Amino acid sequence: MAEGKRSRKAKGESKSTLTRKERRFLPVRDARMTASLVAGALGSVVLGAGVYIQFLRPTDNMLPVKLGSQLIELGDKGSYVVGAGALVLALVILLAPDFETALLVGDGGVGVDEGGDEGARRLLWCDIQEIRMSADALVVKGEEQKILVPLSSQAQAAAWVVREAEERIPSVIELSEGDRGRLAKVEEGAGEERKITDIQIAGRRCRATDRVISYEPDARLCPRCGEIYHKDSVPEACMTCEGPLGDAAERVG
C-alpha cells in the first residue's frame, strides 16, 4: 500500500489543489486623462450648439449675443461653431492618452482585464522574459506580447508586479536603482483580491516533455511561477524558476 502511494506521488499525483488568486487594479485618473475628458466634454457641447444653430433654431431667431458693446448674431455662424466643436473632438481622439482598463497581478501572472466573454489577456510568470522600465511605464514582455503598466495611472499595479516578480522570477527583472526609485511603495490593501477562474491550461505544453496538455486535470502547476507540467512528468525542481516542485506541484482548482 505504501509503495502504491509513493508511486502516485512520483507521477505527480499531488493531493494539493491550487486556488489561484490575484489583485485587480483600476486605473487612477491622471492629469492627461482629466484634461482629455474636459476637452471632449467641451467639444461635444460646442458641436451640439453648432448643430442647433445651423439646423434646429427657428429661422426668425438669429440668436443675438452682446459681447461688450458689440452685438453678434450667431444665427449665420452655425457652420463655424460646428467646425470648432468637430475640430476639438478630433484632436481629443488623435492626441488623448489611452484610457487603460484594469490590470491583474497575482498567481495568474500579469494581465489586462479587457472585459467581454474572452476574459483577461495574460502573461503567466513562466512566460515573462523581461521586466524593464520605459519612459512612463513598466514593460512586462513575453515572447509574443507585452503589457505596459503606466506609472502615472497604475502606480500600485507596477509596484505589485515588481514585488511578485522578485519572489517568483527575479532573473527577468532588469531595473536599475533609478528605475526602482520611480516605483511607488507597495500598499498591502491595494487592488481588489479575487479568485482566478479564466486561465486556459488545456492546449499548453508540458515544460519537461513538450507534451500537449489536452485534459486540464492532467496538468500540474509550479506554485511559484505557474509553469505547467503533465502529471506524469513533474520534475523535482521547476525547470523555469528552479523552485522546489515534485510533491509541491499543484492541481488546477
SS3 track for 42-82:
HHHHHHHHHHHHHHHCCCCCCCEEEECCEEEEHHHCHHHHH
Q: What is the pLDDT of residue 14?
A: 46
Residue in this structure with the C-alpha cell 482629455, named with its chain if needed = 36
Helix (H, G, I), strand (E, B) or coil at 175: coil
Q: pLDDT band at residue 175, thresholds of 50, 70 and 90? A: very high
Q: Is the pLDDT of residue 15 over 60?
A: no
Q: pLDDT band at residue 69, thresholds of 50, 70 and 90? A: confident
Cell of 188: 498591502
Walk across the sheet containing 192-195 and list its strands.
121-123, 109-113, 102-106, 21-25, 192-195
Mean pLDDT of 225-229: 94
Q: What is the pLDDT of residue 228?
A: 94
d(CA 100, CA 64): 43
Percentage of the chain exceeding pLDDT 70: 86
Q: Is the pLDDT of residue 6 over 60?
A: no
Q: Which is higher by pLDDT, 57 or 235?
A: 235
Is there a contact between 81 and 74 (Cβ–Cβ < 8 Å)?
yes
pLDDT digits over 112-137, tens only?
987 756 678 899 999 999 999 999 99
Cell of 246: 515534485
What pTM did the predictor assign? 0.71
Q: pLDDT band at residue 31, thresholds of 50, 70 and 90? A: low
Q: Which is higher by pLDDT, 125 or 28?
A: 125
